[in-house]
Amino acid sequence: MIFALAGNQNCGKTTLFNALTGANRHVGNFPGVTVDCMAGDIKGEKDCQVVDLPGIYSLRPYTQEEIVARDFIINNKPDGIINIVDGTNIERNLYLTLQLLELRVPTVVALNFMDEVTGNGGSIDVEKMSAALGVPVVPISAVKGDGVTELIRRAVETAKAKRLPAVTDFCSADSQVHRCIHAVIHLIEDHAGSIGVSPRFCTAKLIEGDPGMADELGLDENERELLEHCIVQMENETGLDRNAALADMRYTFIEGVVQDSVRKPRESREHARSVKIDKVLTGKYTAIPIFVIVMGLIFFLTFNVVGAWLQDLLASGIDLLAGVVDRGLTAYGINPVVHSLIIDGIFAGVGSVLSFLPVIVVLFFFLSVLEDTGYMARIAFFMDKLLRKIGLSGRSFVPMLIGFGCTVPAVMATRTVSADRDRKMTILLTPYMSCSAKIPIYAVFAAAFFGGRSAIAMIVIYLTGIIIGVIVALVLKKTAYRGEPVPFVMELPNYRFPSLKTTGLLLWDKVKDFLRRAFSIIFIATVVIWFLRTFDTRLNVVEDSSLSLLALIARFVAPIFRPLGFGDWRVVTALVTGFTAKEAVVSTMAVLLETGTAELPAALGTLFSPLTASAFLAFTLLYTPCVAAVATIRRELGSALKTLGVVVLQCGVAWVVALLINTIGGLFA
């Protein structure tokens, strides 16, 4: 038997999933943490499986989470539904419960946080609520495991007996909404039976204006006109639009259930404390400054202190291992080409990317702490209004912010963006936020061409990336991603101390994901770059890199960059190698110009003027991110063609901006 575990966000659903299955899952306070369906075997029950659906507020297909949850229940037809309800916020949670009951699937309601309800002086008459809803209601505490065994027993018993919800009408028989519902049910009953979906559920979706339901039912033109007539008549009689009429019906029913069976608890200490903290952290004048300070501290610790120290430590370890392997291969007398492949290709290429792992882990550690305390939800909340103007929602802000550190974890963080349209737009825009790997490029060129104005140059570079990102977002909003971001509905959870177990599980997931999925693509890409840099057209090993296949390709591509002011093959080669890691741009130029890193700023004067250097900086700011980021984008978009489109778009934007800088600057010069 298969059970669907459904409930609102932040109601303890994933915690209950862990209690039911014994599995370890990340539990978060930020909407969209559980985006995919996760299955697990129920402890102590043979051949019983529970599927953890995304946290949702309704079954209307607004967000990707709602679509996933609804499609699973309708298409997979589980044997039963376990609906978890937050006992401390019962009115809002029961709204989804009523929609689940309309599906006519054996259902059990799990009243969670009952320890908090009783601890704060409240109580719930489970028997009365069960009678009112027409399904079994079981009080539980998912965190403590209280009531979970009883919940499993009642769920299995209900599913085996195929006991359907006893209540389907949530309004009085003489109401206008009731007459409309039953008229539509009579109209579409045969159609609903043919697709195996409850007529009551189909009716609710049709009245709410679900665009796909009429097509799914196969209604003809006459039936659609009659349907619209019934709905318009209800609107005229009630004075409410169709959505408000159904919402009013459901909430009126919920109010009656709560009035008869619930004694409200007094305000909890946790909530009172959270309200006081929010007056400062989300205040009108304090929210943004505090947020900037918090994120600045996180980035400082990640990229300058803890993460940087761990990165240097890992890089030293990789270098030490490479040295040992190098001496071992030399002593063994292995073929020089194979020696170069292992040392100059695998260790140099993969090792340089692998050294970023500590930075990613440390960054996600701090973000996990923010998420677990409840602060991340506040960030999304107060940034929503600003981002909505460029076609995104508040959920997109955190991934874009992470992009200033590293594009790889930033793209991975877009999983918290629930709507598919918003998530894809965020992935496209995140690389325009200049990652920390480009800082060596900016530092060398600023020292070479801008002298005492280096700090101003750095600020201009970062602002340029943000401005270009906003422009691209506005263009995408009007073209490929038309429409508005999904309604941003969320509950601000109480502040709480982070869980070390939860944080540890998240970090372990990120490490596995980075090593397992991106590692193979990085490995292949670095080997390809090594091959092109080592051999000429006759596959002879070259001593001078200017004779290599890579240099040949760079010379072939160089004319594309001449209008930008930097068509030298050595510059193009540096841009190509920068695809493996942005830091490689500086090291490649140092090698090709036969100079040390310290003397590089002076040597760059032979290739660039201040104007062409500015164009080059703009191009490196905006062109395709490193291979690790591209691999991550490929995984998140699930399409090689779309990923190629992202790369082409970014290179195109970078080329146009660099051309404008060189052309307009040339006129003034």
pLDDT digits (tens, 9 = 90+) for 245-261: 888 999 999 999 999 99
- 100 and 207 both lie in a single domain: no
Mean per-residue pLDDT over the chain, rounded: 82
- For 83-113, the pLDDT digits (tens) are 999 988 888 899 999 999 999 999 999 999 8
What domain count does the chain have? 2
For residue 63, the cross-strand partners are none
Q: Is residue 295 part of a domain?
A: no
- For 380-405, the pLDDT digits (tens) are 777 777 777 777 777 777 788 778 77
| Global confidence as pTM | 0.66
* Number of neighbours of residue 603 by Cβ within 10 angstroms: 16
With CA atoms as reference, report the closest residue to 454 among 442, 436, 462.
Answer: 442
- 102 and 182 both lie in a single domain: no
pLDDT at 134: 92
Residue 154: exposure state from Cβ atoms within 10 A (0-12, 13-18, ≥19): buried
What's 54's domain CATH number? 3.40.50.300
Domain boundary among the residues 130, 161, 192 is at 161
Domain residues for the domain of 194 are: 176-263
Domain boundary among the residues 161, 195, 211 is at 161
- 37 and 185 both lie in a single domain: no
Q: Is residue 586 part of a domain?
A: no
- 181 and 41 both lie in a single domain: no
Contact 86, 93 (CB under 8 A): yes
Instruction: Say yes or no to pLDDT of 320 above 70.
Output: yes
Q: Is residue 23 part of a domain?
A: yes
- For 61-79, the pLDDT digits (tens) are 666 677 778 888 888 889 9
Domain boundary among the residues 231, 246, 263 is at 263
- 91 and 186 both lie in a single domain: no
Rounded Cα gap, residues 272 and 329, in angstroms: 66
Q: Over pLDDT 70: what percentage of the chain?
A: 87
Residue 527: exposure state from Cβ atoms within 10 A (0-12, 13-18, ≥19): middle
- 34 and 143 both lie in a single domain: yes
Q: Is residue 32 part of a domain?
A: yes
Strand order in the sheet with 49-52: 38-41, 49-52, 2-7, 80-86, 107-112, 137-139
Dihedral in degrees, nearest 10, Cα atoms 604, 606, 612, 613: 10
Q: Is residue 16 part of a domain?
A: yes
Q: Is residue 31 part of a domain?
A: yes
- 28 and 122 both lie in a single domain: yes
Instruction: Say yes or no to pLDDT of 9 above 50.
Output: yes
- 119 and 238 both lie in a single domain: no
Instruction: Say yes or no to pLDDT of 119 above 60.
Output: yes
Contact 274, 494 (CB under 8 A): yes
- 40 and 80 both lie in a single domain: yes
Q: What is the DSSP letter of 36?
A: S
Map residue 108 onto helix, strand or coil: strand
Q: Where are the alpha helices (DSSP H) in 514-609?
A: 519-534, 549-561, 569-577, 584-592, 600-603
Q: Is residue 84 part of a domain?
A: yes
- 181 and 100 both lie in a single domain: no
- 248 and 126 both lie in a single domain: no
- 13 and 146 both lie in a single domain: yes
What's 211's domain CATH number? 1.10.287.1770
pLDDT at 111: 94
Mean pLDDT of 301-326: 80
Q: Is residue 510 part of a domain?
A: no
Q: Where are the alpha helices (DSSP H) in 120-175?
A: 126-133, 148-161
